[in-house]
Structure 1
């Protein structure tokens, strides 16, 4: 609803500027820059469907030009009409492509999250600040923690606090040397019992290959 209100106000403003220029100043020179605000907003909100805003503004210019009896050709308004429609179309297409990419990315993320949550192996993911962002069902069963109890918490809550520094050094060493065979690190369950896991870790980087996004830890319970 607010979108229509904003566009209505902007369209009235554009109409007022056009009327003032054509009927009071008797010139076809107008500050058309403000016309692009509703055109871009409509295209951003509704994609190609928003092109009608640009078309309406272009038609409005030509109608006002016709009834104002200006002794100037319609060429300038015709050019503005084409520009309004073209800008609206380009922005609309770009917006639709961006939304399509976002949708595909979300579908991929949902698919991967479902795979991780359904995996039999305990998997935990933490961000570059060390805060847990994903805690799968297998880890819930193993530790007794529920996802909402650990999300946003430091991943070190899974370790015995007396041996936390030792565990962190093992993780850093494993990530640095990219061990494939796994490394043994114990975790502390919610009930206070200790479980020994054989861990594999992997870092996730942004598209630049340098910015760390997250770290994934997958464990295998080898407690005797």
Structure 2
């Protein structure tokens, strides 16, 4: 059993590469947020807070990782409050606290939307599989044709009963199987 866990599945390298890319993107976006905040406060000596950039890593992480994006929102919110507490005097701490609450709320909403989307997708896949199995193994002849009469789908029983192959049916229309008399 433990040996099987160590054997890589065919898509594992791709998943690991994709995950590494996501981590890289989120890290770069967080660093961009930190740098922009630093630049505005310490280089430009501005009281303007550029928190709109803070939503980028939170939203991307929410789509990619769900609830784990809340930790990114908490980190960026903590950074924002720390920046305010130590370096920014012109903005009320209440305004920054509201920004932090909104940032965390966005993370929660995006992760909830992602989870709902995944749940819906899973339900759809299960339903499709169930109905595909039902049609494929039915004892009745089942077919589906488009507006021009070209076959979209025929089940196994249809092929067996009428003696056609899938290849033949893919080039036929409904009128091709009708008797001429």
TM-score normalised to the size of structure 1? 0.62
Q: Pairwise CA RMSD of aligned residues?
A: 2.5
**1:140, distance to aligned residue in structure 2 (A):** 2.2
SS of structure 1 residue aligned to 2:62: helix
Of 30, 35, 38, the match for 1:19: 38
Aligned length: 160
**1:159, distance to aligned residue in structure 2 (A):** 3.8
**1:104, distance to aligned residue in structure 2 (A):** 0.9
**Residue 20 to residue 129, structure 1, CA distance change in 2 (3 Å):** farther
**1:17, distance to aligned residue in structure 2 (A):** 0.7
**Residue 128 to residue 90, structure 1, CA distance change in 2 (3 Å):** farther
Of 56, 74, 92, the match for 2:111: 92
Counterpart in the other structure of 1:64: 83
Question: If each structure's helix is expressed as a fraction of its own residues, which one has the higher value?
Answer: 2
Q: Hey, what's the Cα distance between the residues in 2 that align with 1:47 and 1:150? A: 46
Of 30, 39, 44, the match for 2:63: 44
- Assess if the C-alpha contact under 8 Å between 1:131 and 1:155 holds in 2: yes
Q: Return 5+ residue gaps in structure 2 as ranges.
A: 1-19
CA-to-partner distance for each residue in 1:11-54, whole Å, 9 max, x for gaps?
Answer: 11111111112222333422322221221111112222222221
Deviates more, 1:115-124 or 1:73-82: 73-82
Q: Hey, what's the Cα distance between the residues in 2 that align with 1:32 and 1:91? A: 18
Counterpart in the other structure of 1:173: none
Q: State whether structure 2 residue 12 is matched by structure 1 residue 31.
A: no
- Assess if the C-alpha contact under 8 Å between 1:7 and 1:38 holds in 2: yes
**Residue 145 to residue 5, structure 1, CA distance change in 2 (3 Å):** farther
Counterpart in the other structure of 2:15: none
Q: Hey, what's the Cα distance between the residues in 2 that align with 1:67 and 1:135? A: 70
- Assess if the C-alpha contact under 8 Å between 2:58 and 2:73 holds in 1: yes
Q: Return 5+ residue gaps in structure 1 as ranges.
A: 161-186, 189-193, 195-224
Q: Hey, what's the Cα distance between the residues in 1 that align with 2:35 and 2:69? A: 21
**Where in structure 2 are the equivalents of 1:1-224 lying within 5 Å?**
1-68=20-87, 70=89, 72-127=91-146, 131-147=150-166, 149=167, 153=170, 156=173, 158-160=174-176, 187=177
**Residue 122 to residue 33, structure 1, CA distance change in 2 (3 Å):** same
**Residue 48 to residue 76, structure 1, CA distance change in 2 (3 Å):** same
Rg (Cα) greater in structure = 1
